Amino acid sequence: MPVANLEYGLTFGGLDRETVESLGSPLARVVELHDEVASTQEVARGLARRGRERAPHGTLVVGGVQTGGRGRLGRAWGSPRGGLWMSIVLRPEIRAEEASRVTPSAAVGVGKALWELGVEARIKWPNDLLVEPGGRKVCGILAESSIENVPVASKRAVSGDLGDRRLDFVVLGIGLNANLDPGDLGLPEHEAASLRSELGRDVEPLELLGPLLSRLDAELRRLTDFEAVLDDWRALNCTLGRPVKVQRFGETLEGRAVDLSPEGGLVLALPGGERVELYEGEVEHLRREP
Ligand code: BTN
């Protein structure tokens, strides 16, 4: 049951608050809809900082249009009308150094929901959902953690210097190209896809939001049984086994993506045989071995 209702508004596909609440999802306990917003990520973080009474686990913010949508690595995220742009405040019972588990779990949840809809999307490490042919991006995920209200970079979180402190909250942002044409995003056609381009029709708002919230909730409940999530991630991914180029912190690494680490990092085998674990970076799939 909803704990509180914050605002009235219309958003993706004409969704209204009561309709979203009617799903009864634990990830939509508090629902805030905006017709237009700078970034749902910022709105959700602002709510989360007010504390768990005001913004409990499952505070959902959806925007019809985002004027300042953000992606990973500080990039802009084009968010015209027709996409599902949403952020959820999570308060998982995990230690800060386990924060890196959220992105892979969310990617598995989104991936399963897309397959349920008939879109055979695969996960590109760490946070993209791609469709073939051509590996076009249909969805991006942005998980931002906070301890004592201070944002924490995933690399630092897994490096062990956080002891066993608990996370305050994670803001999980999901940008799903739904009822729009890839050309609306201002990206080259070969880079982007949408549910419309893949299914040849628009999806009903609840047809998408229902499975999405339910699959996300199921995967996020498995954060403490993470090995099972990783198995599903491996089954859904399109990165492992491939030669890749990774840009991170100003350096470029080339090698073969061989596995996930126990906390969801990418294990890269370098040409000299050395193995490195990555928790951040931009991965490019290569056609040939480096
Ligand atoms: C990426 O692939 O770089 C992640 C993109 C995440 C975009 C979503 S849209 C909803 C939420 N609000 C934002 O400003 N960003 C995320």
**pLDDT exceeds cutoff 80 at 268:** yes
Query: How far, in Å, from the CA of 274 to the mean position of ligand 1?
Result: 33
- Do 193 and 67 form a contact (C-beta atoms < 8 A)? no
Tokens describing residue 117: 């809809």
Q: What is the DSSP string of 39-77?
A: -HHHHHHHHHHT-TTTS-TTEEEEEEEESS-B-GGG-B-
pLDDT of residue 163: 57
Tokens describing residue 158: 């897994």
Assigned CATH class of 243-285: mainly beta
What residue spans define the domains of the chain?
12-236, 243-285
Strand partners, 174: 86, 141
pLDDT of residue 287: 81
Atom in ligand 1 nearest the alpha carbon of residue 39 = 14
**pLDDT exceeds cutoff 80 at 18:** yes
pLDDT tens-digit map of 138-172:
999 999 999 866 677 644 444 455 656 778 999 99
- Do 263 and 217 form a contact (C-beta atoms < 8 A)? no
pLDDT of residue 186: 87
Query: How far, in Å, from the CA of 192 to the mean position of ligand 1?
Result: 14
pLDDT exceeding 70 applies to what percent of the chain? 90
Q: What is the pTM of this model?
A: 0.92
- CATH number of the domain located at residue range(s) 12-236 in this protein: 3.30.930.10
Query: How far, in Å, from the CA of 66 to the mean position of ligand 1?
Result: 10
- Cα(33)–Cα(216) distance, integer angstroms: 19
Query: How far, in Å, from the CA of 70 to the mean position of ligand 1?
Result: 5
Does ligand 1 come within 6 angstroms of the Cβ of 279? no
pLDDT tens-digit map of 90-99:
999 998 889 9
Residue 233: which of 245, 247, 219 has the closest Cα? 219
Tokens describing residue 199: 């299914």
- Do 168 and 148 form a contact (C-beta atoms < 8 A)? yes
- Cα(234)–Cα(255) distance, integer angstroms: 18
Residue with the smallest CA separation from ligand 1 atom 11 is: 173
- Do 13 and 205 form a contact (C-beta atoms < 8 A)? yes
